[in-house]
Structure 1
Amino acid sequence: MMNPDSVKENLEREIGVRSLTLAIINQTIGTGIFVIPALIAVTLGAAAVVTYIVCGILIFLIALCFAELGSKTTASGGVYEYIETAFGPYAGFLANNIYWFGACVISDAAIANALADTLKYFFPSLNNDIFRIAFFILIFGGIALLNIRSVKNGIRFIEFTAFGKLIPLLILVIVGASFISRENLNWTITPTVDNIGSASLLLFFAFMGFETPLSNGGEIKNPKRTVPLGIFLGIACVLIIYLAIQMVTQGVLGGTIAAHQDAPLAAVAGIVFGKGGIIFITIATVISMLGALGGEILSVPRILFAGARDGLMPKALSNIHPRFNTPYIAILFYASLGLLFAIFGGFKQLAIIASASALIIYLGAVLATLKLRKAGSPPSEKTFKVPGGFTIPLLAMSVIVWLLSNLSEQELLSMVIFIVTFSFIYFLMKVLKKMY
């Protein structure tokens, strides 16, 4: 059973199936899809579509676990809420901090810098540090204010950016299909366990982020129905779009795809639409990055809010705005950290930790599914349940462990240090609470 105090959150329930589906699409289709098609093709060539199918199956296994967990809670916090309920406050504290800081803040700062670098094409002044900092303040401050004033504002922004990135991508796929050369789709590289494994580790990161909108559990209408439907529709749409983009990119660029590893879609757009194609896809990239930031600032502060609500984070983070009914302190705090890291940059090692963090959190959520399945639900409470007993959660767990095994020793060591550091903070907080 999930948190019974969820009814006391005083948040507005504004997120339905359409909004959650679009939020998942928006959050999953980020900056990676504008680069990954070439990186995957370098490893597997035209056979790269196999990796998409493999990753699609794997992400659906994990998503099924999230659907079961999400349908059982009406509280905010998402993956933190699931893990804390299953394994207690210590596991909840680690999940909360590993996720919002390790997997979100750092990636937001990276996206903001990528956004500034992309816009330098139109605004060379962003090479200047002062203008760059002002730009970061405008972006983080503007999106934070939008979300503080109303969760509806945040949802509408997500819906706008979701359509704003999807329409150009769909146009590129539809028009680009007529430029495909069949010879470019011939398999010249044989898929093996090794090359599929290495490619899947990279591509899997392009599917990460679908769980972020579930952090708004306290603002989701009828979660028993909305969460499973939103997850299934969102991920299905993402998989179809990814496959179409990969096919068009490979089919148009063929053997030259390796020469366009930094911006394969821009290269395709240049061939399909001429000189205006680069501008066309650049605008889509900017909208995609803004949407990713907007989705994070909409959802991740709810994890901070949930942690504060349960006494694992400073109490101020659980404050609700008296007029707008949003966790405004948590939103301001989260956006400010993203701004700080964006300004100072230099966090390459932290970016590696962010990737490993997401996998650890997914593993925790799958284990939570198994634990809470044993606890059961009241007979009167009808919630979504993953079919096949423990089979799917165990398969999902095996997949995550397999992906983690592909991390380098340095990445694994960084993750261990990260967990040890937050464990020390947790037990220090417990000692201080007893003393005072």
Structure 2
Amino acid sequence: MSSAKKIGLFACTGVVAGNMMGSGIALLPANLASIGGIAIWGWIISIIGAMSLAYVYARLATKNPQQGGPIAYAGEISPAFGFQTGVLYYHANWIGNLAIGITAVSYLSTFFPVLNDPVPAGIACIAIVWVFTFVNMLGGTWVSRLTTIGLVLVLIPVVMTAIVGWHWFDAATYVANWNTADTTDGHAIIKSILLCLWAFVGVESAAVSTGMVKNPKRTVPLATMLGTGLAGIVYIAATQVLSRYVSVFCNGSFRCSICNQCFNYPR
């Protein structure tokens, strides 16, 4: 690939953070808020693990940058390991892409009720997957642009929630909502970890894209660490402020709880 078509640090960081904050930022705040403020321990443990993995990719990219990331590195040990890693990685991505498509259709069904029917929903999901497949076929530059634009659009409401939402923050309510999962603290933390780990799928994005990155020995490590750190900070800020609004006494939906707490709407 010519250097003119390769992406720099900003775009590469956007790819890493955007891949991690795609469906996760849409799914996790409400799900983790239902567990309570104790989910912060799940975030801390998950972020430590994600940053450790990001550091491994960063070091590998510094020493021996290769197109394919984890697939190429496993192949250095043994061709069989490389093949196995590649097959599992692509299958995981296929499943993940389907989950993202289903999530998108689920949110679109709020505006287009016809998507609540299985047949239109299935067609819409397939269409979404193929649209983004076509974008990927256009090359890395288009992918990085789309991902960066998507990241900015996602960050606007999330950052606003994380900042403005603290205006209604109340320590007493936060403590009362510390564990709303109807289980022990240990089980609640484990449950939150399982959800939080989904948020960091995509930490390998920069390493996998080494071949389309300018100066990969510098760009890939920085983009991996910066993108992972940015995603972690935004996730914690957004989910913790939202956990204050899911009252332990509210039997309604997550949305109704927010409206009641902030604007005194009826439950």
If the TM-score is normalised by the length of the shorter chain, which range does it land in? Answer: 0.7 to 0.9
- 1:246 match: 239
Identity %: 27
Separation in 2, partners of 1:137, 1:233: 32
- 2:135 match: 146
3-state SS of paired residue (2:137): helix
* Contact persistence 2:42–2:192 (CA under 8 A): yes
Q: 1:65-102 CA deviation, whole Å, 9 max, x = no partner?
A: 111122334432121011111x211000000000111x
- 1:91 match: 81
Q: Tell me, which stretches of 5 or more residues in structure 1 are unaligned?
A: 1-9, 276-436
- 1:71 match: 62
* Contact persistence 2:14–2:147 (CA under 8 A): yes
Sort the Cα spacing of 1:254 and 1:133 in 2 relative to 1 into closer, same or farther, 3 A.
Answer: closer
Within a 5 Å distance, the mapping from 1:288-327 to structure 2 comes to: none
Within a 5 Å distance, the mapping from 1:83-232 to structure 2 comes to: 83-85=74-76, 87-101=77-91, 103-127=92-116, 131-132=120-121, 134-186=123-175, 195-232=188-225
Q: Tell me, which stretches of 5 or more residues in structure 2 are unaligned?
A: none
* Contact persistence 2:70–2:85 (CA under 8 A): yes
Tell me by how many angstroms 1:132 deviates.
Answer: 3.9
Q: 1:104-162 CA deviation, whole Å, 9 max, x = no partner?
A: 10121122122122212212333456644553454233323323233211111111101
Within a 5 Å distance, the mapping from 1:343-354 to structure 2 comes to: none
Sort the Cα spacing of 1:83 and 1:107 in 2 relative to 1 into closer, same or farther, 3 A.
Answer: same
3-state SS of paired residue (1:77): coil
- 1:80 match: 71
Q: 1:33-84 CA deviation, whole Å, 9 max, x = no partner?
A: 33434544555x3233232222222221111111112233443212101111
- 1:33 match: 25
2:258 counterpart of 1:268:
yes
Sort the Cα spacing of 1:193 and 1:127 in 2 relative to 1 into closer, same or farther, 3 A.
Answer: closer
Sort the Cα spacing of 1:54 and 1:228 in 2 relative to 1 into closer, same or farther, 3 A.
Answer: same
Aligned residue identity for 2:99: A
- 2:12 match: 20
Separation in 2, partners of 1:26, 1:186: 32
Aligned residue identity for 2:237: A
3-state SS of paired residue (1:158): helix
* Contact persistence 1:184–1:250 (CA under 8 A): no
3-state SS of paired residue (2:222): helix
Sort the Cα spacing of 1:257 and 1:110 in 2 relative to 1 into closer, same or farther, 3 A.
Answer: farther
Separation in 2, partners of 1:172, 1:129: 32
- 1:6 match: none
Relative contact order, CA 8 A, sep 6+: which one is greater? 2
Tell me by how many angstroms 1:220 deviates.
Answer: 0.9
Sort the Cα spacing of 1:204 and 1:259 in 2 relative to 1 into closer, same or farther, 3 A.
Answer: farther
Aligned residue identity for 1:167: I
Separation in 1, partners of 2:8, 2:256: 34
Separation in 2, partners of 1:122, 1:42: 24
3-state SS of paired residue (2:217): helix
Sort the Cα spacing of 1:171 and 1:11 in 2 relative to 1 into closer, same or farther, 3 A.
Answer: same
Separation in 2, partners of 1:49, 1:271: 21
Aligned-residue Cα RMSD (Å) equals: 3.0
Sort the Cα spacing of 1:171 and 1:183 in 2 relative to 1 into closer, same or farther, 3 A.
Answer: same
Tell me by how many angstroms 1:27 deviates.
Answer: 0.8
